[in-house]
Every structure is written in structure tokens, then in C-alpha cells.
Amino acid sequence: MTPLKTILASTLTAAALATGTTVAVAGGAGYGAKTGATPAARADIVDTAVGAGQFNTLAKALTAAGLIDTLKGPGPFTVFAPTDEAFAKIPADKLNALLADKDALTKVLTYHVVAGKVVAADVKSGAVKTVQGQALNVSASPAGVTVNDARVIKTDIMATNGVIHVIDTVVLPN
């Protein structure tokens, strides 16, 4: 395991165990909102995202950053997952440069991850510390939920090691 992956795994595990992080996102219709119950998780975050078919670029980025094993780990994690359409908003030359810069890519991807499992029902507006170290600004209103400038378009996709909330824009750290 590389030093960066070791630090990331330790940070995620320690943060998840040391705090009961109650930062959440809600809004929009999640799986539970349609059926009245949240389906049981069958796979980890990575396999759940890959199986959904709309996170191919995210999977490619996680592989390039060497984060697959970490996000297949025990967690729990809350991941704000940008869709392929969200990544398509980034100009191709900038996206290719990001995918080629492992350190910058790791910072961007870990900015989409919060330690702990946070479901939509626990939504609160405010700053949420990410694994990357900087905070995301979560805003909940009757119009929906945003994470920085990204709109949450689906919530509570359960995984065996956490939860995925789908966002329509890649959020970038400062």
C-alpha cells in the first residue's frame, strides 16, 4: 500500500470510528422515498457504483488514483458520486490532465467522501468535513439539497460499507 493510501485508509477508519459524524444530505427522491423502505445493500461502494452504469468516469478516476481498495474497505463512507454527465461538464483537456495527475486526482476524489454513513433523513445544512480535509457546504431547502454547487439528484444508494448520494457536478476543493 502506498504511503498516501495508508494515510487515507487510516484517516477514514479513525474518523469513522472516533466520531459518529452526523452530517447528511437529503432532497430529491431516493430509493427509500419511492418504496417507503431502503433496500438492503448487496455490494460495497465501488461495486454498487460500477453496477449502476452511470459512474464509469468515476470508476476510471478511482482506479487512476489508486483508491479502489480503500473504497472497497470496511468504511463506513458517505460518497457524493458525480455521474458520467457531471464529469462531462469538465473540458476534456482539463479532465485528461486531472486523470494524469494522481495527487490532484486523489484530492478531488477524497473531497467527495465523508467518513461515516450519513443517510438523507439526517440532512442538516452546514459545513461537512471531507476525507480530503476541506469542508463541503451542504445546503438543504424546500427546493432540494446542494453540495457546494452540485445538486443532489438521488440519495441513499446503500452499499455494504456506506452510502452513495448522486450529484450532478464534480465538486472541486480550493
Q: Cell triple for residue 153?
A: 439528484
pLDDT at 162 over 90: yes
What is the per-residue pLDDT for 130?
A: 96
Most trustworthy range by pLDDT among 46-55, 86-95, 138-147: 86-95
Query: Which H or E run includes 1?
Result: none
d(CA 87, CA 84) in angstroms, rounded, equals 5
What is the per-residue pLDDT for 153?
A: 96
Distances (CA, A) of 21 to 52, 106, 135: 26, 22, 13
What phi and psi values does residue 77 have, to the nearest 5 degrees?
A: -130, 150
In a domain, 174, yes or no: no
CB within 8 Å of 91: residues ≥ 6 apart: none
The domain in which residue 29 lies consists of: 3-167
What is the per-residue pLDDT for 36?
A: 40
Read off the CATH number of the domain in which 32 is found.
2.30.180.10
* Contact predicate 148/127, CB 8 Å: no
In a domain, 173, yes or no: no
In a domain, 41, yes or no: yes
pLDDT interval class at 121 (50, 70, 90): confident
In a domain, 54, yes or no: yes
Q: Name the β-bridge partners of 168.
A: none
Question: For all residues of the chain together, what is the average pLDDT?
Answer: 80
Q: Which long-range contacts (CB under 8 A, 24 or more apart) does 31-36 make?
A: 31/154, 31/155, 31/156, 31/157, 31/158, 32/120, 32/155, 32/156, 33/155
| Higher-scoring residue by pLDDT: 31, 67 | 67
In a domain, 172, yes or no: no
Give the residue-averaged pLDDT of 116-137.
Answer: 92
Number of structural domains, the chain?
Answer: 1
What is the per-residue pLDDT for 42?
A: 84
In a domain, 14, yes or no: yes
Q: Cell triple for residue 97?
A: 490532465
What is the per-residue pLDDT for 142?
A: 86
Give the residue-averaged pLDDT of 149-173.
Answer: 95
